Structure 1
Amino acid sequence: MRLPDNSFAAMKIFISADMEGVAGITAVEQTDPVGQPEYARSCELMTAEVRAACEGATAGGATDILVNDSHWNMRNIIHEQLPPDVRLIRGSLKPLSMNQGVDASCAAAAFVGYHAPVGTADAILDHTYTGETLYDVRINGERCSEARVNAAVAGCFGVPVIFISGDQSACADARSFLPWVEAVEVKRAIGRYAASSMSPEQARKAIAAGMQRAVASVGAGRAKPFSFASPVTLELVFTSTAKADMASLLPEAERIDGRTLRYASPDFLTVFRAFRAMMTLGASVS
């Protein structure tokens, strides 16, 4: 594994952007691109927070910024509203999904608009990748958020995660395995569908300032690539036995009980591919 050399003047930052953790967003209807009148406004809010993160990263010393749109169909961010030199990965399907674009050329990664893992109390729209298909996601016996899974993908390329924004539960989750992370709480969840939120303007200011601090500190070397202990054991609990039936078609997936499958490998990227394959198979049936 080659670690990125942060001693060079050039500094590339990778940003994975989700929507549920954006200030002001509390309901599925705000995040669903299919026929929901509030969705267009949510795209504006998400784009503005990503822009703030990009501006903060540049102020902190970033010279190259790559953003991966990571919500739902991954066609949410309004590219022309980002700084003109920012590249955007848009659309799906993508081999690395929310992590597409991260590689060893990146000095660090940042997560904007993220949310807490499935099963978390006082967390806006808690889920891990897909709430309709997965009831729980566990790796090496621990419940996992998208942030933890995605940090491990970045870690496979030697890239540390230095920043996250979202509600208080998303921030607490990230701090539990990334103690150095710059975590910006833009809202406080009151259950699953209500929150006390910063104004969009204040959230953007906080995100820009947090990203500037995070990127400016990359050279100090405090942030480390995250990884799971090997061998890596993934357990997926599906929302129905029918979904588990379909997911069990994946070779080497072990059926633990009616709704739970297990998959193990010494290589995390192999586990991640299996995770996506089982999730996709499970989602193919109701």
Structure 2
Amino acid sequence: MKVYISADMEGISGVVNNEHTDRNGREHDRARIWMTEEVNAAIEGALDAGATEIIVNDSHGTMRNIILESLNPAAKLITGSPKRYSMVECLDETFDAAIFIGYHARAGSSGVLCHTYTDSVEYVKIDEKEVGETGINGGVAGYYGVPLILVSGDDVLCNEAKALIPGIYTVEVKKALSRNAALCLSLNSAHSLIRTTVKEALFHKDNIKPLTFNKPVLLEVRFTNPAYADAASTIPGVKRIDSKTLTYMCDDYLIAFDAFRSMINIES
């Protein structure tokens, strides 16, 4: 059994502030340790369930956060950036299941450190429904027929995932109190819960359907500033709806994903 793990940082227990998530933040090195430990817990759960190959994709910021010398040697690590498919690099039809660790809620929600790929995005809609990184990246897994079976993060993220994917397993490692505050599980408790829930999710992975969207795929991106939309509107096929909102339509989800990544990259 081949398992894919995409790991972000904002949804890790204890992480609540930019001092944790920013590369030059005073508490970033602590957060890197916490992130690596939660990933290891997921790896251990996958091994308990019989996984024979595990690929971990470091999906936060510069994508050089997971501490390789501390990573469970049963897994391989995708590290560094840029990567063509970013948070879902190397995910394809050869995987049996996908797991998202340390994810956060979508932009505009009440989740800890919520955003959607970048703080310049006000919202993203697919098929007229707001989605965050769980939905956007989960759609890539679904494109390849791979079910997204588990996410971990705060309570807002968990509820977002449940509304999107029937039957998905969630691990709530903290409860959002504000954008920069949370009621967090102890690290050991978070690790134990992740390990046992990953194992259970993999045992029941066939009960969870891959996330797919209607064809043609209708992507809508609203930026926080018209200047960002000015830049992104130069991409071929993109239509401008108003000063801050762009749409893109195509039959292939992976092309729509590429268009979204291009929009947010060109504005930066």
Alignment TM-score, normalising by the size of structure 2: 0.98
> Where does residue 196 of structure 1 map in the other structure?
183
One-letter amino acid of the counterpart of residue 128, structure 1: T
One-letter amino acid of the counterpart of residue 243, structure 2: G
> Where does residue 244 of structure 1 map in the other structure?
229
Q: C-alpha separation between the residues in 1 aligned to 2:156 and 2:15?
A: 15
Counterpart among 112, 115, 120 of residue 127 in structure 1: 115
Deviation readout 1:9-66 (Å, 9 max, x if unpaired)? xx00000000000001111121000x21100100000000000000011001111100
Say yes or no: does 1:15 pair with 2:8. Answer: no
Say yes or no: does 1:145 pair with 2:132. Answer: yes
> Where does residue 54 of structure 1 map in the other structure?
43
CA drift of 1:254 comes to 0.5
Residue 61 of structure 1 contacts residue 216 of structure 1 at CA under 8 Å; is this kept in 2? no
CA drift of 1:85 comes to 2.2
Q: Which runs of 5+ in 2 are unaligned?
A: none
Deviation readout 1:234-255 (Å, 9 max, x if unpaired)? 1111111111111011011101
> Where does residue 148 of structure 2 map in the other structure?
161
Mapping of 1:107-122 within 5 angstroms? 107-121=96-110
Q: C-alpha separation between the residues in 1 aligned to 2:80 and 2:27?
A: 20
SS of 2:207's partner is: coil
Residue 18 of structure 2 contacts residue 25 of structure 2 at CA under 8 Å; is this kept in 1? no
One-letter amino acid of the counterpart of residue 278, structure 1: M
> Where does residue 208 of structure 1 map in the other structure?
195
CA drift of 1:200 comes to 0.8
State percent identity of aligned pairs.
Answer: 44
CA drift of 1:160 comes to 0.3
Q: C-alpha separation between the residues in 2 aligned to 1:155 and 1:145?
A: 15
> Where does residue 20 of structure 2 map in the other structure?
30
CA drift of 1:94 comes to 0.9
Residue 155 of structure 2 contacts residue 175 of structure 2 at CA under 8 Å; is this kept in 1? yes
One-letter amino acid of the counterpart of residue 202, structure 1: S
Aligned residues: 268
One-letter amino acid of the counterpart of residue 124, structure 1: V
Deviation readout 1:127-184 (Å, 9 max, x if unpaired)? 11001x2111111111111001111000111100111100001000111111211101
Q: C-alpha separation between the residues in 2 aligned to 1:255 and 1:179?
A: 33
Alignment TM-score, normalising by the size of structure 1: 0.92
Q: C-alpha separation between the residues in 1 aligned to 2:228 and 2:165?
A: 33
> Where does residue 76 of structure 2 map in the other structure?
87
Q: Which runs of 5+ in 1 are unaligned?
A: 1-10
Residue 102 of structure 2 contacts residue 153 of structure 2 at CA under 8 Å; is this kept in 1? yes
SS of 1:114's partner is: coil
RMSD: 0.8
SS of 1:250's partner is: coil
